[in-house]
Amino acid sequence: MLSTNLKQLYFSQSALAIYEKCPLKFRRRYRDGLFWPQDWGGDLEQREVIETGKLFHRLAQRYYARGEELTAELLTVDLKDWFKRLRGFRPYNQRDDFYPEQELRINRDGIKLVAKFDLLYLDKTANRFIIYDWKTNKRPFSEEDKFNNNLQSIVYLYVLTKAGNQYFPGSNLQPANISLLYWNPRFPKNIKTVDYNRRKFAEDEEFLTKKITQIKNLNYADFKAINDEKICKHCEYRPICFGKKPELIVLEEDDLDLELDWEIIEEIQF
């Protein structure tokens, strides 16, 4: 459900990333309510990557919900391999707590944030929460990939820290006991881990509060186009901005916010 009133909008990492990329694109999507289906501008290969990724996420969700495994005959060769690697990488057990496809949102002094986690895992022995995020794109993580300060890491770690003790009573959640782990079944040994601490939590709170306040205080005409051809030529709003058909639109694996049903997500207020 789209919100044309920014006071009602729960900001996700994807919404913030769109604003950083182009304020006008953010306005068209989140204020004007203009949204095209995610795959309308992608080619067949991109669509297959996205669809396979969605299937993998569903497999992981069913596995961690009850330890359930699908019959191998129902899976493609890729999914069979990926699922086998997943079970070896983060085995399900009945001792610890697994929360697949967990959605949390917070509302604090008008600052609204939402995060949807592929998997929240509570290691009861170590009293640690690990956020697992599944990536299924064809490119492995590189040394240039900066995960510590990207918007996904900032939003995910902050939201869990801020809301975790309310959603998971008795967990005594502290920033130092939380980490975020990115993993791709195509490249199972190519792992990126982001740890957290109180200093980073305070920095992230200040950053998110300032950024969301800034966006909400903008007048309608203040959402300016980026006017960067490298970005604009792949944007779905290019016909509106420039009267030109976009070139191949790069599908964003993580841009699934608009598919969430906000009415069923429990809200934590502070």
Q: How far apart are CA 255 and CA 14, in angstroms?
A: 6
Does the pLDDT at position 246 exceed 90? no
Work out the pLDDT band at 241, boundaries 50, 70, 90: confident
Does the pLDDT at position 264 exceed 70? no
* pTM summary value: 0.87
Residue with tokens 């792992």: 191
Question: Residue 236's pLDDT is what?
Answer: 84
The full length of the chain comes to 270
Question: Residue 245's pLDDT is what?
Answer: 80
Question: Residue 228's pLDDT is what?
Answer: 87
Residue with tokens 């694996």: 253
Question: Residue 200's pLDDT is what?
Answer: 97
Question: Residue 90's pLDDT is what?
Answer: 96
SS3 115: strand
Work out the pLDDT band at 267, boundaries 50, 70, 90: very low
Q: How far apart are CA 90 and CA 193, in angstroms?
A: 14
CB atoms within 10 A of CB 20: 12
Work out the pLDDT band at 248, boundaries 50, 70, 90: low
Q: Which of 15-24, 42-51, 221-230 has the lowest mean pLDDT?
A: 42-51
Q: How far apart are CA 226 and CA 198, in angstroms?
A: 34
192-202 average pLDDT score: 96
Work out the pLDDT band at 260, boundaries 50, 70, 90: very low
DSSP 5-47: -TTTPPB-HHHHHHHHH-HHHHIIIIIS-----TTTT--HHHH
Residue type, 30: Y
